Amino acid sequence: MVKEYKCLVAPTADKVIGNITGNITAEPNDSGESTLGDLIADAQLYNTSNPSYGGAMVAFTNPEGIRFDLNLRGSELPCNVTYCEAFSVQPFGNNLVTMILSGTQIDTLLEQQFDNTSFGNKGILQVSKGFGYTWNKSDLVGKKVNIFSIKINGTSIDPSILYRVTVDSFMVDGGNNLFVLKAGFNRTVGSLDNVNVSANYIKNFSPLAPGPRDRIAVVK
């Protein structure tokens, strides 16, 4: 049965959707940021930043939901990326949800990610371009992020200002202890699941290179 269905889906699975110039992986640096996490968060922001699709200013993605890397194969440069490979990265049908959070709630969200202590720095939320912050490894959970270090497009967030943020439907109701997301309001649900969001981004912006992983900083 599996062989039969693999044959049926092969034309879609094997379709080349784009290419990469280097390995783009879920392996985090010391701050918890990965090149593939950056790519996925960027894809989510690209899909939801238009006011008609949510008007997001930042996107957060769940690193445990990234299940496969995009690697170069042998000496092939640039490396083709198939739809099957994109599906393997995010083999779920989660939709994107854009909502309103205050600056204080964004800070709380970043603090709550450290409640997943069993994951270490591999549990750090991946963030879209234009968003950045610093966390302190030695501080206690709940006090690791200085709210004044959180910036969107170079400007520090205001605790009282409201911002539109995008997450996936697994996170939206408190998955991975991200309970502050339950308070998000004025929600817009995207029509595409996260697999097709990333696939479309790869198609539109190829060739893609691994990024510098400079959005999240850590103080030891």
Domains and CATH numbers, the chain: 2-219 (3.90.780.10)
For the stretch 108-146, pLDDT in tens is 999 999 986 555 556 899 999 999 999 999 999 899 999
Gap between the Cα atoms of 48 and 153, Å rounded: 17
How far is C-alpha 79 from the geometric centre of its chain's CA atoms?
22
Query: Alpha-carbon distance 7 to 151, whole Å?
Result: 48
| Locus of tokens 């302190």 | 136
Which pLDDT score, from 0 to 100, does residue 118 have? Answer: 53
Contact 94, 65 (CB under 8 A): yes
Cα 134 to Cα 125: distance, rounded to the nearest angstrom: 13
- pLDDT at site 92: 86
Q: Tokens 């549990």 — which residue?
A: 123
Q: Residues in the chain, how many?
A: 220
pLDDT at 78: 73
Q: What is the dihedral of CA 107, 216, 117, 158, to 10 degrees?
A: 0
- Residue 102 has what pLDDT? 98
∠ CA 214-49-194, rounded to 5°: 80
Residue at 140: amino acid letter: L
What does pLDDT average to in each consecutive run of 10 residues of the chain (220 residues)?
84 90 95 97 96 94 93 74 93 92 98 74 89 95 94 97 96 90 95 89 96 96
The pair of three-digit structure tokens given for residue 26, joined into one six-digit string: 């879920």
Q: How far apart are CA 211 and CA 36, in angstroms?
A: 9
3-state secondary structure (DSSP) of residue 215: coil
Answer whether the bond into residue 78 is a cis peptide, omega within 30°.
Answer: yes
Angle between helices 35-48 and 194-205 (to 10 degrees): 100
* Nearest C-alpha neighbor of 176 from the set 138, 215, 103, 123: 123
Centre a 10 Å sphere on the Cβ of residue 129 and count the other Cβ atoms it contains: 15
pLDDT score of 190: 87
Q: Are 53 and 190 in contact (CB under 8 A)?
A: yes
pLDDT on residue 211: 96
